[in-house]
């Protein structure tokens, strides 16, 4: 039975809750402009990323663009089986994985090395100049860069003229017409475009390294390269790990814009990747359900790669994305 004191005294558990809620409201009001900006980003993500996920069900239907999705008849796993039995499957997977692995093996370490050497520059003006030059290609679209590359790699282009002048080759080579050169062109041009931009994150991480660590290394007699290997690299290990996990999960995500601009009928055997294949089948042939099924398979494999890379890095160096 409750006494008069129990009835008059409010529930002690509700007091901290009210204080916490009041504090959160005050903080939210003080940050109201930032909260509005964040809510706009959340709304954008929901509208353009989560709402369209309803369309995934057309992978299990025979979808026709003239009818709503709900009216399309169910097809089960028919489109998934069709992709696994497709004659183009082997070449599409080989090209996608091959180019992506080359980009990962060659293109992933280079921004780290570039950032390490850039961080060692003592001249601020020269450092800014190098950064500006290296960042510039990132802000040009692949339509522009593709045109530049097509001109440079033509029979009478800059590359052929230079190699002929140096007697490295005896006659001009049509690089974009030769499938054997396509992977090298893709990897090299991707590095050229994104090297400086990719180094920004590493430079930001290096800026957070304590100067005391460098001073202690100097006292111990360490040189510049020793500081890079024993101070800078271990200090940004977490950043490298996170970006590596994301890169592994994106192995099946070839650069669609880049390949679409540089591909042609002559190099099709080396340039036909999953993203281009989905575009060709889904939009040009209007096989929307089939293209969705292929995209869903790719997304599931990417999720497995993400979880696997996250698990392995967590076991190896106790650093993970989640």
pLDDT tens-place string over residues 66-88: 888 888 999 999 999 999 999 88
CATH of the domain at 103: 1.10.3720.10
The number of distinct structural domains making up the chain is 2
Whether residues 186 and 276 fall in one domain = yes
Q: Which domain holds residue 32?
A: 4-42
Structure pTM?
A: 0.82
Task: Return the closest-CA partner of residue 158 out of 146, 168, 170, 150.
Answer: 150
pLDDT tens-place string over residues 202-257: 999 998 888 899 899 988 888 888 999 899 999 999 899 999 999 998 888 888 89
Distance in angstroms (rounded) separating the CA atoms of residues 147 and 145: 5
pLDDT tens-place string over residues 175-211: 999 999 999 999 999 999 999 999 999 999 998 888 8
Tell me whether residue 112 is in a domain.
yes
Q: What is the largest CA-CA distance in the chain?
A: 105
**pLDDT band at residue 13 using 50, 70 and 90 as cut-offs:** low
Whether residues 38 and 111 fall in one domain = no
Q: What is the DSSP letter of 61?
A: B
Whether residues 151 and 18 fall in one domain = no
pLDDT of residue 14: 59
Burial of 41 (0-12, 13-18, 19+ CB in 10 A): exposed
């Amino acid at each position: 039975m409750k006494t008069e004191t129990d009835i008059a005294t409010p529930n002690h558990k509700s007091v901290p809750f009210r204080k916490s809620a009041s504090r959160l409201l005050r903080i939210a009001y003080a940050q109201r402009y930032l909260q509005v900006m964040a809510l706009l980003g959340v709304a954008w993500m929901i509208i353009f990323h989560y709402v369209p996920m309803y369309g995934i069900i057309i992978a299990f239907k025979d979808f026709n663009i003239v009818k709503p999705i709900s009216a399309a008849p169910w097809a089960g796993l028919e489109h998934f089986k069709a992709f696994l039995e497709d004659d183009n499957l082997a070449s599409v997977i080989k090209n996608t994985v091959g180019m992506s692995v080359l980009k990962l093996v060659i293109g992933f370490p280079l921004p780290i090395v570039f950032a390490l050497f850039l961080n060692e520059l003592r001249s601020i003006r020269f450092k800014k100049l190098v950064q500006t030059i290296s960042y510039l290609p990132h802000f040009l679209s692949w339509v522009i860069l593709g045109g530049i590359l097509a001109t440079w790699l033509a029979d009478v282009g800059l590359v052929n003229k230079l190699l002929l002048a140096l007697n490295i080759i005896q006659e001009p080579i049509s690089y974009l017409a030769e499938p054997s050169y396509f992977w090298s062109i893709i990897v090299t041009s991707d590095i050229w475009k994104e090297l400086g931009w990719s180094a920004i994150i590493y430079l930001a991480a290096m800026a957070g390294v304590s100067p005391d660590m460098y001073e202690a290394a100097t006292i111990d007699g360490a040189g510049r390269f020793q500081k890079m290997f024993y101070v800078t690299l271990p200090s940004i290990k977490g950043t490298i790990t996170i970006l590596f996990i994301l890169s592994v999960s994106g192995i099946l995500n070839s650069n669609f814009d880049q390949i679409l601009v540089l591909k042609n009928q002559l190099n099709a055997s080396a340039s036909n990747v999953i993203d281009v294949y989905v575009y060709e089948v889904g939009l040009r042939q209007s096989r929307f359900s089939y293209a969705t099924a292929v995209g869903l398979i790719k997304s599931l494999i990417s999720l497995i790669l993400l979880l696997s890379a996250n698990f392995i890095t967590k076991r190896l160096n106790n650093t993970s994305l989640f």
